[in-house]
């Protein structure tokens, strides 16, 4: 599989043969917004519609690597989605939110926040590395009886989401402040970093939620370009 690159094919048939772009998704953009923007730019370039999709959704409040498949590369999306991913996450301790991130209001727990010692870091990595059972957030795209979980949550409905096994093969923890910790997470398909943040907070007894998330790698891709750079490359003759 080719690495992402900004050498966009000049001929529409070459484009249909397939290529990949790894774009740095901007904050507050949905993954669909990025796909739609690049799709429109490709259509203008080639004067015809070119198939495009993405390999793994990023939440609007997340930034970082969104891998786009163009043309026949879309047939390999599932294989890329199944690959390992790396994230950098920022947690706020001492509070929780319904969405497990900053999308919904903070609710302080009122519980003491432990100091991040070597022993606590070791205990957390022992508990949350390897194959772990994880419940996706209710504010997620998981389907429940045909509806997206976030649609049910935003309409005030409650629904049970079953725990599922996920693989976390890397977990590094550092303290940026007494109540702000940073994680580096390497994981497999289907892992929710928001759920990891929430579960760690519950384990510590003080609560925690995600305040920032950045995806830095989607194997086999490790380099990405800004959306502006991608659009400029598509639009150039």
Q: How many CA atoms lie within 13 A of 190 on its CB side?
A: 14
Given this model, what pLDDT does residue 202 score? Answer: 97
Q: What would the two tokens of residue 118 be?
A: 């070597």
Residue 195 CA to residue 211 CA, distance in Å, equals 13
Instruction: Give residue 3's pLDDT band: very low, low, confident or very high (50, 70, 90).
Output: very low
Q: What would the two tokens of residue 169 be?
A: 């093969």
Instruction: Give residue 138's pLDDT band: very low, low, confident or very high (50, 70, 90).
Output: confident
Residue 96 CA to residue 102 CA, distance in Å, equals 9
Q: Hey, which bits of the chain come out as E strands?
A: 19-25, 52-54, 62-70, 85-93, 95-96, 107-108, 130-134, 143-144, 147-148, 164-177, 180-187, 208-218, 225-226
pLDDT single digits (tens) 213-230? 999 999 999 899 999 999
* 8 Å CB contact between 216 and 170: no
Instruction: Give residue 129's pLDDT band: very low, low, confident or very high (50, 70, 90).
Output: very high
Q: Model pTM greater than 0.85?
A: yes
Given this model, what pLDDT does residue 162 score? Answer: 81
Instruction: Give residue 155's pLDDT band: very low, low, confident or very high (50, 70, 90).
Output: low
Q: What percent of the chain has pLDDT over 70?
A: 88
Give me the active site residues, please: 59
Q: Can you tell me which residue has the tokens 């957390």?
A: 124
Q: Reduced to 3 DSSP states, what percent helix, strand and coil does the chain have, rounded to the nearest 5?
A: 30, 35, 35
Report DSSP state, residue 196: H
Mean pLDDT of 92-101: 95
- CB-count exposure of residue 230 (10 Å: 0-12, 13-18, 19+): buried
Q: What would the two tokens of residue 64 be?
A: 């970082």
Domains of the chain in start order, with CATH, are 12-82+220-235 (3.30.2350.10), 85-218 (3.30.2350.10)
pLDDT single digits (tens) 188-207? 998 999 999 999 999 999 99
pLDDT single digits (tens) 34-84? 999 999 999 999 999 999 999 988 988 899 999 999 999 999 999 999 999
Cβ neighbour number for residue 160 with a 10 Å cutoff: 7
């Amino acid at each position: 599989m080719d690495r992402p690159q900004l050498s966009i094919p000049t001929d529409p048939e070459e484009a249909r043969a397939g290529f990949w772009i790894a774009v740095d998704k901007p904050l507050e953009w949905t993954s669909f917004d990025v796909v739609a923007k690049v799709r429109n730019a490709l259509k203008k370039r080639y004067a015809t519609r070119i198939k495009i999709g993405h390999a793994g959704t990023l939440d609007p409040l997340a930034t970082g690597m969104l891998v786009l498949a163009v043309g026949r590369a879309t047939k390999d999306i599932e294989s890329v989605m199944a690959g390992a991913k790396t994230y950098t996450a920022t947690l706020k301790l001492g509070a929780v939110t319904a969405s497990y991130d900053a999308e919904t209001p903070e609710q302080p727990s009122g519980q003491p926040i432990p100091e991040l010692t070597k022993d606590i870091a070791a205990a957390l990595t022992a508990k949350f590395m390897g194959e772990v059972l994880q419940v996706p957030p209710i504010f997620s795209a998981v389907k429940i009886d045909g509806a997206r979980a976030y649609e049910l949550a935003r309409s005030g409905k409650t629904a049970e989401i079953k725990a599922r096994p996920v693989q976390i093969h890397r977990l590094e923890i550092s303290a940026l402040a007494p109540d702000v910790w940073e994680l580096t997470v390497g994981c497999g398909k289907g892992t929710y970093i928001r759920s990891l943040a929430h579960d760690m907070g519950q384990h510590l007894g003080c609560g925690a939620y995600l305040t920032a998330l950045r995806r830095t790698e989607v194997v086999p891709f490790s380099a990405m370009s800004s959306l502006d750079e991608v659009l400029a490359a598509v639009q150039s003759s």
